[in-house]
Structure 1
Amino acid sequence: MLKRLSAVLVGSVLLSGAAFAQETTIKFTLGWKTQGSDAAFFYAKDKGYFKEEGLNVIIDQGEGSGATVTRIMSGAWDAGFGDVNAIIQNASTRPQDAPVMVYMIWNQPPFAIVAKKTSGINSIKDFEGHTLGGAQGTPTTRLLPIFIRNNKLEGEKIKVTNMAPNLQEPMLIKGDIDAALVFNITSYFNLVLNRQDPDKDFKWFAFGDYGMDLYSNGVMVSQKMIAQNPKAVAGLVRAINKGMIAVAKDQNAAMASVVNFDNLVDVPVEKRRLQYSFDKLIVSPEMKEIGVGDIKDERMTRAIGMVVEGYDLKRVPSTKEVFSREFLPARTERELTYTAN
């Protein structure tokens, strides 16, 4: 009897060891530091969705949504949350190395120009004769010339002052610049943290409302992982999709997972950022039509053209080089209903 029990115990250990050995580790980089808008990733990890797919997902903080692309290209990370426009840039010059987006989250672009209501800027035409502060190299700053041309503004009358990103809101508040070229989901909460009322005291001009119909952040993976382990890619997308659907319905549960990942976050601010991401970046008529995670190819083709022009790229990548819907769950599984709570 004792021998039989020992055999069963040994067999159990071997089986559990085999199961553990089969688990795939994925190094996943965020676009920035821990934020409420990343809740779906933390929720999927917290609730065991990754584990259910046989994945051990290690989530690291990021250095910028554009840096997600270069991090993955370095080989140190397998996947991450970042800007599809940075994929376009790299797919133009290094098509064999650039990652591929497999799940679009921010259906609407965060690129915006924000001005104090007391600045006298009430329409985009009013940018003429004023000074805008921009961080060199960011999409909002780089794409400004196309914004100017598409909206028939007189660019020679618009002054752009280069500055570090962390100086934009302080200089805007002080009046050293008249408006700032920003990511709305970042700048809005920088103003909140500077004890400003970004709705009452500031006016926002979203690029997407003025002919710059770009896509933005989502889940991207390396070409290596797609080639070597497509099952893991599909599992990663399924787990994140389940997280997105759940977080859209219950932001309090979502924030509990954020805190489990990083207990130093400012919960009220980050919950507000999470809800802002749904209100401004995720939920849109297109997302409701095609489901969360997908894109429209013709829109992406136009967006690629704008980025190629804005960054003076020599080669135009194809939509398939930039985005793959191969790993998306069925449309019925990507029905996202957002309820603020």
Structure 2
Amino acid sequence: MSGRRRLVAVVAASALAFTVTACGGSSAAEDAADGTSVTYLTSFGTFGRDSYVYVALEKGYFREAGLDVTVKPGTGTVDVMKLIGSGQADYGTGDLSGVITTMANEPIPVRAVAAIHQRSMAGIASLDKAIDSPEKLAGTTIADSSGSTNMIIFPAYATAAGIDPATVTFVPSSPQSLPQLLAAGSVDAIGQFAAGKPLLEKAAGGKSVTMLPYADKLPDLYGNGLLVSAAKLDSDREEVEKFTEALVKGLVYAVEHPEEAAQLLKKHDRTADETVAAAELTEMRPYVLGDGGSAGTLDRARMERMITLLAGTGTLKSTPSADDLGAYDITTP
């Protein structure tokens, strides 16, 4: 069975039911010691939204694929791309808008082979419905990390929403400071991913967080994607197919079983808040499953539309081709 047909079968089975029992005795991670060793980087740190890789690890999906996977916290899309491109990591996750922007300005030999999020989770977060419609963004101050996906995409979102992006001021801030800046009222809003809503509400002492998801106005945007080096894709396509299948299986299970996934995350990061982690996965579920049955899939036509949209923001020094960015026959139904 080809990789893409295997993936479709895995997603269908995952969405219906899983009969694998909970972990007990020796872990799947321990049992994988005889497999091919590979390294995977999370998108950024260790949050509930990244716990699907630990599900794939602990449920034995990687072991079944003959892989011994070491998971390391990533530090953002560009760093993940550079580490994979230089051979210091085998796989990782990064925001596909960030991948396009980076490749346009600084070509790195990586390729996307799956979409973790069928819709972008990027957006604007405010407290207590202060900004509950795009029209209320005019004249506001928004904190976000310099060069973030939220900041890069914002002009396209603002244009699609019918507002002037020049009426909004972005304040460069460290990612770690964003929840506190919002909670303290130091800014009107912050750039944030939809899955980060539970963490923001915890930082704000239980105040409600209102999200303006970019996907509401820009439905063609993917969110995070699974990345691999161009060299590995060329030299070991079978491994790439097996890794992708196992990871997507863990992804679907995680969003269908958020509480259990949070528990598995806790095994690998004792500082994780299980309640927040489970809530993040619940928020992430519709972004992963899309319109149903499409988890993991990556489409060339949509990637081409993303490139065109981002080129229209004026942030790209060149326009990369879709084939320079991804492989579309690993996960396409």
TM-score (norm 2): 0.81
Q: Which amino acid aligns with 1:76?
A: Q
The separation in 2 between residues aligned to 1:28 and 1:283, in whole angstroms, is 22
CA 1:234–1:154: 2 relative to 1, 3 Å: closer
Deviation at 1:26, TM superposition (A): 1.1
- State how far apart, in whole Å, the 2-side matches of 1:244 and 1:88 are: 23
- Report the counterpart of residue 26 of structure 1 in structure 2: 38
1:181 to partner: Cα distance: 2.2
Structure 1, gaps ≥5 residues long: 1-19, 332-341
Percent identity over the alignment is: 22
Counting only pairs closer than 5 Å after superposition, residues 118-267 of structure 1 correspond to structure 2 as 119=130, 121-198=131-208, 202-211=209-218, 213-267=220-274
**How far apart, CA to CA, are the structure 2 residues paired with 1:42 and 1:128?**
41
Distance in 2 between residues matched to 1:283 and 1:84, nearest whole Å: 17
- Distance in 2 between the 1:195 and 1:111 partners? 23
Counterpart of 1:306 in structure 2 is 309
Q: Is the 8 A contact 1:107 1:215 kept in 2?
A: yes
Larger radius of gyration: 1
Q: Shift of the alpha carbon at 1:233? A: 0.7
> What is the CA–CA distance in structure 2 between the aligned matches of 1:70 and 1:310, rounded to whole Å?
24
Runs of 4+ in 1 over 6 A off after TM superposition: none
Q: Is the 8 A contact 1:132 1:158 kept in 2?
A: yes
- Give the conservation status (yes or no) of the 8 Å contact 2:116–2:288: yes
C-alpha distance 79-260 of structure 1, shift in aligned 2 (>3 A)? same
Q: Which residue of 2 aligns with 1:274?
A: 281
1:211 counterpart letter in structure 2: L
The 3-state SS of whatever aligns with 1:132 is: strand
Contact 1:110–1:216 (8 Å) recurs in 2: yes
TM-score (norm. length: structure 1): 0.79
Q: Pairwise CA RMSD of aligned residues?
A: 2.5
Instruction: Give the structure 2 partner of residue 10 of structure 1.
Output: none
Q: After superposition, what is the alpha-carbon deviation per residue over 1:178-217, rounded to whole angstroms, capped at 9, x for unaligned?
A: 222222323541332342333xxx3221111123631111
Distance 1:248 1:144, change over 3 A: closer
Within the candidate set 86, 96, 99, 2:110 is matched to 99
Over 3 Å counting, the alpha-carbon distance change for 1:212 and 1:161 in structure 2 is: farther
Deviation readout 1:130-152 (Å, 9 max, x if unpaired): 32223221011122222233333
* Contact 1:133 1:177 (8 Å CA) reproduced: yes
Instruction: Describe the shift of the 1:115–1:214 C-alpha distance in structure 2 as closer, same or farther (beyond 3 A).
Output: same
Over 3 Å counting, the alpha-carbon distance change for 1:243 and 1:172 in structure 2 is: closer
Instruction: Please say if residues 69 and 86 of structure 1, whose CA atoms lie closer than 8 Å, have aligned partners that are also in contact.
Output: no
